[in-house]
Amino acid sequence: MPYNTPAPNFALLAAFDARDWAGVDVVSYNATNISLPSYAVGSGVYEDGLYFLNGRGVGDTAPGRAMGTFSEALSSLATFGSSWSVSLTSADRIKITSDVIFSVSPVDDDVLGLGTQTAVVDGANYSVTASADWVRGIYAGQRYQFTGASTFTAFREQSNRSWPAQDVISGLRTRGSADLDDLSPTDCLEELMRDQGLIEARIILNDQGHVEIWSMNSGAFAWLDTSFRDRLGFSGNETPVAQGSTASDYVERLTADYPMPGAVFPSRPYQNHHYTVDSVTEARRKIGGGYTANLIGTYTTSALSFDLDALLDQRDLYRHFTDAFVPYAPNGERVNFYQGWGDSRRSLRSALVTSSQAAYDLIYTSEDNGDQGRLRCSIVTAAYDLAFGNLKRRVPVQMRLEHL
């Protein structure tokens, strides 16, 4: 089984309404003012923060904009072979295919689970399939060495800059691929910065729920709208941190001081998660006994219980929950429940795996019969009693999330 962690950390992400900044210059990047689109009627509300930040994928490798997907990064760096691809198998393992024999080994942490091995014959090509699971969480530009007719390292750009991806799945997905989750290929913030600034940028939501903006250098990026800055959790007091040591591999990471409003990332796994089902009908008793009914619908709801971090805990999320989550996720609004943070795919129950739907692909994961992956929901909780004991930590929270 992939991952095989019974109690992963989870996250809740509300929808992101960007209409307040429609047509507004929100940041400056590479001496260019970056504006959000002038949204048409019915658009401008993103399903959640990840759709707005990076569209659950990476951009192409146009001039000045680096790396692209894992396949593009590998192909651009390869010093032998003419065909390279990185894909995901139906068993949820990374597979690398080439038209020439090669061996691969990790240079940094083995986040792709490849290990050290030599490709085997795969039809008319050669391939390596990962011997272990890929690591859930942020992909931070870890490198692998490929050896064949010559030796090279991937997956980075030619200048060796360590651009991140939201997770391994996002690193495999190209924005604009028109798949089921490709909802923001041109209007997510990362793509707007890349297209208008004509230079590489990456924007991710890290494992603590803080936005990170990766840019070429601090002089290339600046805030133009403070309300937009605040909506992403930045204070304006942040200092960029250099990644890389030379002019060629230099890149900077700016991490928000505060968690992103509309997102909750508790430090512990949830306490309980079970389903309730409502069968809504119009039922009437018949004169001769028995009933007749007209089914309106069946509705599945997640009953979720977890402990919220507070003042004396690992990180204080108490007022963040009351002031920066609930207002963005009121009763009836959209919320995405990431049952295991670090895997952005949708949840799929095992009975839906068919000859045309693999158990694992770039959209779905059927791990644990749907108990992993993202649940697309509407929140159906109107009030919270955030009581705590003698110590202000581990505050019990209960909520209900109706599945879409």
Computed over its alpha carbons, how large is the radius of gyration of the chain?
Answer: 23
Residues 104 and 191 placed together within one structural domain of the fold: no
* Same domain as 229, residue 324: no
User: What pLDDT, on the 0 to 100 scale, is given for residue 1?
Assistant: 53
Please check whether residues 221 and 117 belong to one and the same domain: no
Whether residue 318 sits in one domain with residue 254:
no
Could you give the CA distance from residue 46 to residue 329 in angstroms, rounded to a whole number?
13
Residues 209 and 225 in one domain: yes
Following CA atoms 51, 54, 58, 64 in sequence, which dihedral angle do they give, to the nearest 10 degrees?
A: 150
Q: Does residue 356 sit within a domain?
A: no
Q: Following DSSP, what letter does each residue of 22-66 receive, concatenated?
A: BT-EEEEETTEEEEB--PPTT-SEESSHHHHHTTTSB----TT--
Confirm whether 5 is domain-assigned. no
The domain total for the chain is: 3
pLDDT of residue 4: 67
* 116 and 200 in a common domain: no
Of 106, 135, 156, the position where a domain reaches its end is 156
Among residues 203, 227, 260, the one where a domain terminates is 260
d(C-alpha 171, C-alpha 138), whole Å: 10
Q: Write the DSSP assignment of 127-138 as a string of letters.
A: EEE-SSPPPPS-
> pLDDT at position 257, please?
98
What span, in angstroms and rounded, lies between the C-alpha atoms of 248 and 242?
A: 13
> If we measure between CA atoms, which residue out of 359, 375, 341 comes closest to residue 7?
341
Residue keyed to tokens 């977890």:
306
- Residue 38 placed within a domain: yes
Alpha-carbon 357 to chain mean position: 22
pLDDT score of 234: 98
Per-residue pLDDT tens digits for 43-86: 999 999 999 999 999 988 776 676 789 999 899 899 999 999 99
Mean pLDDT by 10 residues, the chain (404 residues): 74 97 96 95 95 93 75 92 95 96 95 96 96 93 94 86 92 92 94 91 96 88 97 96 82 96 96 94 89 90 96 93 97 96 94 96 95 96 92 93 96
- Asked if residue 2 is part of any domain, the answer here is no
Q: Say if residue 83 is in the same domain as residue 61.
A: no
78 & 117 share domain: yes
Are 206 and 251 found together in one domain?
Answer: yes
Indicate whether 347 belongs to any domain.
no
**Per-residue model confidence (pLDDT) at position 281:** 85
What is the span of the domain harbouring residue 19?
A: 10-65+162-260
Q: What are phi and psi of 146, to 5 degrees?
A: -115, 135
Give the bridge partners for 337, in sequence order.
12, 375
Closest CA to 222 of 64, 26, 65: 26
pLDDT digits (tens, 9 = 90+) for 347-389: 999 999 999 999 999 999 999 999 999 999 999 999 999 998 8
Average pLDDT, the chain: 93
Last residue of one domain, picked from the residues 126, 156, 186: 156
Buried/exposed 93-121: b ≥16 CB within 10 Å, e otherwise: bbbbbbeebbebebeeebbbbbeeeebee
The tokens describing 16, both together, are 């992101």
